């Protein structure tokens, strides 16, 4: 009995070893088939959902949730295909002629070389389109390292990206938000032992001695060009979209609704006492003008009835003008709500564009000379918080009040002028002390010398 048990156990061990050996001999074919199936699934997604083109995670064809789903499947399939290709190459390297003969004796047939080459060619064609860099980038890397680029600024094969120029204002291209949660490293956050000028000189010498520096300079230029195009287009959209929304809402939505509810009722002529006072002053000036014209022309004096008729005609004209102004002010209130909503919506869906815009302004501001920085700071502060700034704020607030048909509250205007410019001036001084004094002390010194 023990001999039989040992014999059965030996047979099981033999079959297990034989199965493991067969599995080892079939590794190249199995790995190639799994890589081929993964490539077929990627190709199926391309044909079914992207019209046979590359799966672009930043495509505006689908929502962000759908694109995240496609991106997740794409990463899994690409990882599977690349791992199985590596396994295929390694197993073929270890599979010598003796193993192939043993496989033939074990009844294992390998596919023909033409079929293997066909599958490898198909796999390479599919996965070669996705040889991109997935490392996260920061705003500093955006300028200095063309190898780690965001998807919207990526430059493939050393060729400049194609920029679409739509005929009408459209939303900026969707930009991958995978790295938006990471705060970019600003120049103000980096403090070194040596002065930055010495470090920049050493870096410049290293770049000039690098044999690949010319290619890096070209790629950096294309990257900056792409960033500038995205930033300028986004700035134009922030201006054009709210203005167009205001005009369209005013003409097509708010105006017809007010006309419908107004009906046959005559709209109120004056929305506030200030408008009524302005109309009275204009009517009094017209009456004085009639009398003055009659006196200097030596014409016979006008009868009170004639003056009354002309004054009545002028009063009707003034009433018509102010009725239209009041009607326009009401439309402005509701149209501005639509305009602000469009502006906020544009900011919400373009968070990644805002990140690129911040890098664009950071590159411009910190690239200025010290005297230029001091000049801009003084100009900006003198306009908004300087000695003559209260007059400008008063004009702005009165214009906004008139735009909405509200009376210009002098107490509110004076209180605003007494507090807001002071707060703004404090913020400027804190920024100069906290940030500018660290990143550019010479600019602060220039600013104080120019301000004295």
Tens digits of residue pLDDT in 359-379:
888 888 878 888 888 888 888
pLDDT score, position 310: 86
Average pLDDT over residues 238-257: 91
pLDDT digits (tens, 9 = 90+) for 33-75: 888 898 898 888 888 888 888 887 777 677 777 787 888 888 8
Ranking 4-13, 39-48, 184-193 by mean pLDDT, the lowest is 184-193
pLDDT band at 340 (very low <50, low <70, confident <90, very high): very high
Residue 146 banded pLDDT, cuts 50, 70, 90: very low
pLDDT of 107 higher than 50: yes
pLDDT tens for each residue of 196-222: 567 677 777 776 676 777 777 788 888
What integer best gives the mean pLDDT of the chain?
A: 76
Q: Is the pLDDT of residue 3 over 70?
A: no
Top-confidence range, 174-188, 338-352, 355-369: 338-352
pLDDT at residue 88 greater than cutoff 70:
yes
Average pLDDT over residues 172-196: 48
Is pLDDT above 90 for 438? no
Q: Is the pLDDT of residue 116 over 60?
A: yes
The tokens describing 138, both together, are 């920061």
Which pLDDT score, from 0 to 100, does residue 51 have?
Answer: 82
Tell me the per-residue pLDDT of 149-171, one tens digit each, with 9 for 90 and over: 444 454 444 444 444 434 444 44
Q: Which is more confidently placed, 36 or 190?
A: 36
Q: How far is CA 8 from the centre of its chain?
A: 71
Position 162 scores a pLDDT of 43
113 pLDDT tier (thresholds 50, 70, 90): confident
Q: Which of the four pLDDT bands, split at 50, 70 and 90, describes residue 111? A: low
Q: How far is CA 94 from the centre of its chain?
A: 51
Between these two residues, 89 and 206, which has the higher pLDDT value? 89
Comparing 334 with 162, the larger pLDDT belongs to 334
pLDDT band at residue 342 using 50, 70 and 90 as cut-offs: very high
pLDDT of residue 14: 60
Position 188 confidence tier, pLDDT thresholds 50, 70, 90: very low
Cβ contact 374:450 at 8 Å:
yes
Radius of gyration of the chain (CA): 37
d(Cα 81, Cα 79) in Å, to the nearest integer? 6
Q: Note the pLDDT of residue 248.
A: 93
SS3 sequence, the chain? Answer: CHHHHHHHHHHHHHHHHHHHHHHHHCHHHHHHHHHHHHHHHHHHHHHHHCCCCCCCCCCCCCCHHHHHHHHHHHHHHHHHHHHHHHHHHHHHHHCCHHHHHHHHHCCCCCCCHHHHHHHHHHHHHHHHHHCCCCCCCCHHHHHHCCCCCCHHHCCCCCCCCCCCCCCCCCCCCCCCCCCCCCCCCCHHHCCCCCCHHHHHHHHHHHHHHCCCHHHHHHHHHHHHHHHHHHHHHHHHHHHHHHHHHHHHHHHHHHHHHHHHHHCCCCCCCCCCHHHHHHHHHHHHHHHHHHHHHHHHCCCCCCCHHHHHHHHHHHHHHHHHHHHHHHHHHHHHHHHHHHHHHHHHHHHHHCHHHHHHHHHHHHHHHCCCCHHHHHHHHHHHHHHHHCCCHHHHHHHHHHHHHHHCCCCCCHHHHHHHHHHHHHHHHHHHHHHHHHHHHHHCHHHHHHHHHHHC
Four-residue CA torsion sign, 270, 275, 276, 282: negative
pLDDT-derived band at 319 (thresholds 50, 70, 90) equals confident
pLDDT of residue 341: 93
* Whole-structure pTM value: 0.50
pLDDT tens-digit readout, 263-301: 545 666 666 777 888 888 888 898 888 888 888 877 777
Q: What is the pLDDT of residue 89?
A: 80
State the average pLDDT over residues 394-414.
86
Residue 278 burial (CB < 10 Å; 0-12/13-18/19+)? middle
Q: What is the pLDDT of residue 144?
A: 41
What percent of the chain stands above pLDDT 90? Answer: 8
């Amino acid at each position: 009995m023990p001999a039989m048990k040992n014999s059965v156990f030996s047979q099981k061990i033999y079959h297990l070893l034989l199965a493991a050996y067969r599995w080892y001999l079939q590794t190249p074919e199995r790995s190639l088939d799994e890589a081929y199936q993964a490539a077929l699934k990627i190709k199926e997604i391309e044909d079914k959902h992207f019209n046979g083109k590359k799966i672009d995670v930043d495509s505006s064809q689908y929502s962000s949730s759908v694109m995240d789903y496609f991106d997740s499947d794409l990463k899994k399939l690409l990882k599977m295909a690349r791992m199985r290709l590596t396994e295929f190459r390694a197993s073929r390297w270890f599979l010598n002629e003796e193993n192939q003969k043993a496989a033939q004796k074990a009844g294992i047939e390998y596919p023909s070389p033409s079929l293997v080459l066909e599958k490898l060619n198909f796999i390479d064609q599919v996965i070669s389109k996705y040889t991109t860099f997935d490392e996260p980038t920061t705003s500093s890397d955006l300028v200095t390292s063309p190898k780690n680029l965001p998807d919207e600024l990526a430059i493939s094969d050393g060729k400049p990206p194609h920029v679409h120029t739509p005929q009408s204002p459209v939303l900026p291209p969707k930009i991958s938000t995978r790295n938006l949660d990471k705060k970019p490293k600003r120049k103000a956050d980096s403090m070194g032992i040596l002065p930055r000028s010495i470090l920049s000189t050493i870096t410049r010498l290293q770049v000039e001695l690098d044999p690949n520096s010319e290619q890096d300079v070209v790629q950096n230029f294309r990257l900056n060009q792409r960033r500038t195009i995205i930033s300028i287009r986004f700035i134009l959209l922030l201006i054009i979209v709210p203005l167009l929304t205001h005009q369209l809402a005013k003409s097509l939505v708010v105006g017809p609704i007010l006309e419908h509810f107004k009906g046959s009722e005559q709209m109120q002529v004056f929305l506030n006492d200030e408008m009524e006072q302005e109309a009275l002053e204009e009517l009094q000036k017209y009456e004085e003008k009639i009398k003055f014209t009659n006196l200097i022309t030596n014409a016979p004096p006008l009868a009170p009835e004639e003056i009354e008729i002309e004054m009545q005609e002028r009063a009707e004209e003034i009433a018509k003008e102010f009725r239209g102004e009041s009607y326009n002010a009401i439309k402005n209130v509701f149209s501005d709500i639509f305009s602000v909503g469009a502006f906020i919506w544009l900011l919400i869906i373009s968070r990644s564009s805002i990140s690129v815009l911040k890098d664009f302004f950071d590159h411009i501001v910190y690239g200025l000379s010290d005297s230029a920085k001091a000049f801009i700071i003084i100009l900006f502060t003198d306009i908004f918080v300087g000695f003559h700034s209260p007059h400008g704020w008063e004009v702005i607030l009165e214009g906004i009040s008139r735009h909405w048909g509200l009376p210009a509250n002098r107490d509110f205007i004076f209180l605003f002028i007494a507090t807001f410019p002071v707060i703004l001036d404090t913020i400027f001084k804190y920024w100069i002390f906290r940030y500018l004094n660290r990143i550019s002390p010479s600019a602060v010194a220039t600013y104080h010398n120019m301000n004295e």
